[in-house]
Amino acid sequence: SQLSSCYLTTVADDLDGIYEALKENALLSKFAGGLGNDWTNVRALGSHIKGTNGKSQGVVPFLKVVNDTAVAVNQGGKRKGAVCAYLETWHLDIEEFLELRKNTGDDRRRTHDMNTSNWIPDLFMKRVMEGGEWTLFSPSNCPDLHDKFGTEFEQAYLAYEDKVARGELKLFRKVAAASLWRKMLTMLFETGHPWITFKDPCNIRSPQQHVGVVHSSNLCTEITLNTSESEIAVCNLGSVNLAAHLYPQGHEKFGQLDHVKLQSTITTAMRMLDNVIDINYYAVKKARDANLKHRPVGMGIMGFQDALHELRVPYSSDAAVEFADRSMEAVCYYAYMASTELAEERGRYASYRGSLWDKGLLPQDTVEMLRASRGGYVEVDDSVTLDWNILRARIKQHGMRNSNCVAIAPTATISNIVGVSASIEPTYQNIFVKSNLSGEFTIINDHLVNDLKALGLWDEVMIADLKYFDGSLAKIDRIPAEIRGLYATAFEVEPKWLIEAAARRQKWIDQAQSLNIYMSGVSGRKLDETYKLAWVRGLKTTYYLRTLGATSAEKSTSRAGSLNAVSSTNDTGSAAAPATEETQFCSIDNPECEACQ
């Protein structure tokens, strides 16, 4: 009965608030919710505790409890419990926060099962770009920083730095901004965490900034909703299969989106998501209250890579970036149109008055607001193709049913069920095995198989080659170069193309997108350039950094075509002779085989 996907909470700076948040995590996780916790408000290590006249142990010990709660309470017995903790970059505990996922050090100060994310203000990125110094504070000494963003945050932050200079603040630490940035990227590469997310674009471009602050994103970094001590943000997610909304080959409009079909699908989907808000079971009252008041939903997409395959467009191309722009413009246009139609039928959401929607500002209009706040550092394409004035006029007349309408979630499992690529990602590998609590599933790229069959190249040797090269075509010379380019896998696509496509989408989206960064040949410079590009292109969030290992397992085949077969030991206990067609290969439960054990 619990149909919502994501929950975002803010943790208060006292024991009652902290353990109330832990209880809420447990209840929401029990009924299959993914969690995003904002911990910035909790005072730092060494802060004064008035009630006991002692000193605080900081954020980290509590995060260990959060980690263990996620392990103890899984998602309705169907999925592992999952939570992400967010901390702003000015928090005095930030450097220890960065190390939470390390496999070395004091295990009592490590969280091996929990996700972490940096919530980065624009001022920090400017200091990084300009080689400046950065000051770390405890929120107990500067509580207003937590609720400020943009130019207001910058003014308040500079005022606290002035207090430090005058000796009025004792609990602080100064670091080189570039040094802290390098540590963030180093930990991201070493542990996959904390993820890089940007506080100011999430708030400056939020349609709901009139009634609160976005303090974090969610478990998968695509939801950007207000949270407070009295409100837990909730979002219902759904994803449209983009590949199913293209005109097929042979149609006079082949290569174009079928706008009539897309609008019909999204209109139905938005109605369904809006229904969920009312019929849903809420394990926590604060979540119910917030959801009924603001009514946010997250309409997303999947099968973006499949659509490119249908169009015969490589992911690493300007044409793919342009398609990302045009397709997302259409999805957002029809999602916002559906919400205003629902508003006419069912009424506006309760907190509509004063929102950016109410002021006539659509998500693409807020890119200029971000530029003004940053004083530059925003390089985003502004092209438009649809008539948005029709939508503006309709919203002005009828309002909106939902405070937020669009967010692109990861869609890993549902994409497998539908048979398309996940979300907005390039093909991970053209053949691979996916594992979850339901078992292991072999995933293969059907578009590639069909092309190889048409070329007469689909045979047992090709299957063995695909397995040997981990689904990559780059080294299979008998495949034409055009096909290899079209089916380049995620690690063969330069990360800048992922960023560029995401930037084009982000200008239309009122929330965010779950964007994995795939990178082969990782270096400090490449990491630095990629994440700075993400910031300059106005992205709100990024998700996992996925890198390739320095080595991979050696593979071999026998003449029988069995890949990775392990031969049994011979009677003397030494390694078996080279494989022949008559050689018997061991089974996984052979107690005499060293490889099996």
Residues in the chain: 597
Can you read off the two tokens belonging to residue 594?
């060293």
If phi over 0 gives left and psi between -120 and 50 gives alpha, with beta otherwise, what is residue 271?
Answer: alpha
Which one, of 478, 451, 488, 472, lies nearest residue 313 by Cα?
A: 488
Dist. CA 58–CA 317, nearest whole Å:
47
What 3-state DSSP class applies to 513?
strand
The three-state DSSP-derived secondary structure of 227-291 is: CCCCCCEEEEEEEEEHHHHECCCCCCCCCCECHHHHHHHHHHHHHHHHHHHHHCCCCCHHHHHHH
The residues that are catalytic are 218, 220, 222
Per DSSP, the three-state class of 392 is helix
Longest CA–CA span in the chain (Å) reads 86
Q: Using a CB cutoff of 8 Å and minimum separation of 24, what contacts does 389-393 make?
A: 391/333, 391/336, 391/337, 391/340, 391/362, 392/360, 392/362
**Cβ neighbours of residue 577 under 8 Å, at least 6 residues apart?**
567, 570, 583
Give the other-Cβ count within 10 Å of 572's Cβ.
6
Q: Which residues of 212-237 are buried (b: 16+ CB within 10 A; e: fewer)?
A: bbbbbbbbbbbbbbbbbeebbbbbbb
Backbone CA torsion sign across 309, 310, 313, 316: negative
For 281, the token pair is 């079971």
Taking alpha carbons only, the member of 525, 450, 540, 577 closest to residue 178 is: 525
What is the Cα–Cα distance from 576 to 568, expressed in whole angstroms? 6
* Residues 238, 243, 248, 251, CA torsion sign: positive
Half-sphere exposure of 382 (CA within 13 A, CB side): 7
| Beta-carbon-side half-sphere exposure of residue 153 (alpha carbons within 13 Å) | 22
